[in-house]
């Protein structure tokens, strides 16, 4: 039986900007214990009572050197809040 993949957002990397027109931009690093594809849906976000729908506009994967197989994805997302 294999080890289950672990995937989480590095909270220290999370950046959210929201303007008066309703456009939101979210940037963060997603950390994973392997190099497999991301499994969580990052097209929808909720913060408190505000929900955002949009698309991933940029995604860049790289290994975390010296970590024993962990990888990070730099994710940039744009969408609108409602």
- What is the tens place of the pLDDT at every residue in 60-72? 999 999 999 999 9
- Whether the CB-CB separation of 9 and 30 falls below 8 Å is answered with yes
CB 43 within 8 A of CB 54: yes
DSSP class per residue in 22-82: SEEEEEEEEEESSSSPP-S--SEEEETTEEEEEEEEEEEEEE-TTSSS-EEEEEEEEEEE-
Residue 20 DSSP symbol: T
Q: In the chain, where are the structural domains located?
A: 7-81
Average pLDDT over residues 46-66: 92
Q: Three-state DSSP class for 11?
A: strand
Residues 4-45 pLDDT 10s? 889 999 999 999 998 888 899 999 999 999 988 888 889 999
* Banded model confidence at residue 1, pLDDT cuts 50, 70, 90: low
**Average of pLDDT values for 52-62?**
94
């Amino acid at each position: 039986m294999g080890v289950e993949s672990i995937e989480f957002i590095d909270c220290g990397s999370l950046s959210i900007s929201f303007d008066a027109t309703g456009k939101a931009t979210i940037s963060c690093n997603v950390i994973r214990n392997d190099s497999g594809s991301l499994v969580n849906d990052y097209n929808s976000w909720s913060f408190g009572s505000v929900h955002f729908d949009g698309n991933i506009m940029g995604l860049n994967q790289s290994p975390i050197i010296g970590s024993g197989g962990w990888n990070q994805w730099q994710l940039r997302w744009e969408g609108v809040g409602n």
